A and B are shown apart, each in its own frame.
Chain A
């Protein structure tokens, strides 16, 4: 009798346990294309392997680089023994103020009249997301126009926020440069009041930036079409080595009367990747409008993460607001940008040395962390298979992964697959 009871009990229990899961229909998500590169690189045992997928700066030894100004700022902060009370929804005041000043320039009229609202965000992604949510709520339904190509995450961010994506021509594969005519042509046809996303400097993934006179024409046509400008500035200082030069387009557009949206990231230029330091700015008509916009941004932020993390913002604010730390930072940013520029030059020199007859000028014309080599998918595949050089299929390499120790090997590999 008791055996029967136990059998029934177990049967019921097993049936219960094997009942369908809520999640039976959940598909496996697609692997992240860029992470996939890093994973494959890790598995490779070739001692000469190179990881040119990673979008994080490496020093000439191929190691992550913690800036001295960051270490110094951390020491200052530790000594102050501050509490860990919640930040305001919009973040640390000293940070948001200096973040806006960095982008716009200390003397900018926008700052003086208080007609901007700048909130602290979860690095660049978080900033774009808040911006996308804000647009979706207060400027919908309008389309967002991205340059072709753009950072891979732009599309899903805006889509998730409920906006539709379209594109304007940007990269010219035949020149590995800027398709200026194509861009103007496409922009001139964008429906009024649409949102246009512009990379402020060091375009990701191509490294191709408009020249100042080209920016001027873009500004004119954007104005004519009455488009809402959203700048993504993830590399200020990191592109040319000069923070003012890299912010030129942003400042020019504001001067020209565009009330822009702006996303800033401190992941690369301060090496604060994992601390998630960023800012989102809306340039408004006046201070009153800025207050209204601010109140709505808070309403958007609160149900996502309540208020932002302190650590990175405190470090960034300390650096920006302490004169000798700020000078040190500018030096170090300049140093990082210079190393990248040097690697570009050495790569071209190396290719020439290998005997390549192709035109590699775009490698030194392009700017910032990434280089669109112009390599075709089959060539990329060979480069990975035969030389253990890991990069994304679109031919993009992260110059940050190139060092004086491996640039010759890279030149050799690229030449081998392109001759």
Chain B
């Protein structure tokens, strides 16, 4: 090729890899036979295998054999049956807000896509037009992509609200409330609906009530991230309590839903941005603007995953199957939590380990410090995030002893 053409991209710097994916890569390259991957957030069976939900297999067969189905474009906002049934899952079948015709939705590419659409909409229309200075608060710590989603949508001021108390290994509720009381009015708050990622620590109902009261008083915007509904406790309704409570308190709000984990549809990118508006007229205008944002980002969403979810949610039999599958996953995680705690206690590992069973969902913030984590990875070939976060799904009845021993060693040998 013509060397006279100076590349326009010769100045492009190498970007750092995304930590959680690098961890998986390192795990994959490791030859140690007893290696354990407690990194990426995906469900694993007790054989440490990915699990395609039986109901999903069933529905895929239905789809493949239905000659009436084709691959035509979905509407810009997505498959209507998916959007409405997905919102019902979050808000409840009997949600007054739905009955009042003030709930709408945008089918998006996974939870990330839903957060992205919400963020783009808020940046354009919330607190004025294009007010990029509106503070966005994410929990300390939070899912590492939250920051980038809002920053890339144009928000210039992304802050953290107190959340995890490392010392007591629990929720810093006073700190959280303090931030709600002192933050600028109209700030946007990203709240984890349940199974907080990465800490697994959720507010109690009483605490949620106080959070809601304060947010209402201070005119703060509610943006729920719901990636684990059903997966946390095993009950869809229990896991949606906070979201539904806020709706009942008349908040106008957004809720980004992911069906990656609770449907095991990770790579089909199935998400839903539920919009709860003041009334139907507001909703109509909001959705029309959402269409414009969708059109310049991906035009219309992918069909396959949404179809699977819609068919499942709209058939009583399949819906029951799905709830069973979800409970299977949640129960296995609960079992691993109970066993890990029991083993650590039996080993006499220093410290208290109650947080392992008090925390909920896929992740646990073990409390291991970076040095101890390094020990786990390098010496024991147990891969976890530097933050001390482990994915409970990576634990199995076969490796749990090894992991417990590894934690014991890390805690006793490394300070």
Contact = CB atoms under 8 A, between A and B. Distances in A.
Contacts of B264: 84
Nearest to A82: B52
A83 B50 contact: yes
Interface stretch (A293-301, A335-343, A397-405): A293-301
Given A86-B260, A86-B266, 10 more contacts: A22-B126, A32-B291, A70-B71, A138-B9, A156-B292, A257-B5, A296-B12, A305-B298, A310-B267, A311-B302
B278 to A, nearest CB: 4
A236 to B, nearest CB: 18
B129 A304 contact: no
28 contacts: A21-B279, A23-B286, A26-B282, A29-B288, A32-B295, A64-B70, A84-B268, A85-B267, A86-B266, A87-B267, A89-B18, A125-B298, A138-B11, A153-B299, A160-B296, A259-B9, A274-B300, A296-B12, A303-B145, A303-B148, A304-B109, A305-B113, A307-B110, A307-B269, A308-B109, A310-B268, A312-B302, A312-B304
Contact of B12 (A27, A56, A289): A289
Contacts of B8: 138-139, 193, 228, 259
Contacts of B278: 21, 23
B250 A23 contact: no
Interface footprint category on B: 35 or more
A272 B18 CA distance: 30
Contacts of B4: 257
Interface of A: 16-17, 21-29, 32, 35, 56, 64, 66, 70, 74-75, 78, 81, 83-89, 109, 122-126, 129, 138-139, 153, 156-157, 159-160, 193, 223, 226, 228, 254, 256-259, 267, 271-276, 282, 284-285, 289, 291-293, 295-296, 298-300, 302-312
A74 B9 contact: no
Given A21-B278, A22-B221, A84 B50 contact: yes
Interface string B50-73: 111000110011001000001111
A274 B282 contact: no
Contact of A29 (B11, B56, B289): B289
Interface string B260-285: 10001111110000000111001011
Contacts of A311: 268, 302-305
Contacts of B52: 81, 83-84
Contacts of A78: 60-61, 64
Contact of B71 (A28, A272, A306): A272
Nearest to A158: B296
A125 B297 contact: yes
Determine which residue in B10, B152, B267 has the highest number of CB atoms from chain A within 10 A of its CB, and name it. B267
A312 B108 CA distance: 16
B2 interface: yes
B15 A129 contact: no
A274 B113 CA distance: 17
B274 to A, nearest CB: 15
A296 B15 contact: yes
Contact of B250 (A17, A123, A160, A275): A17
A182 B71 CA distance: 40
Contact of A309 (B15, B18, B109, B279): B109
A350 B126 CA distance: 55
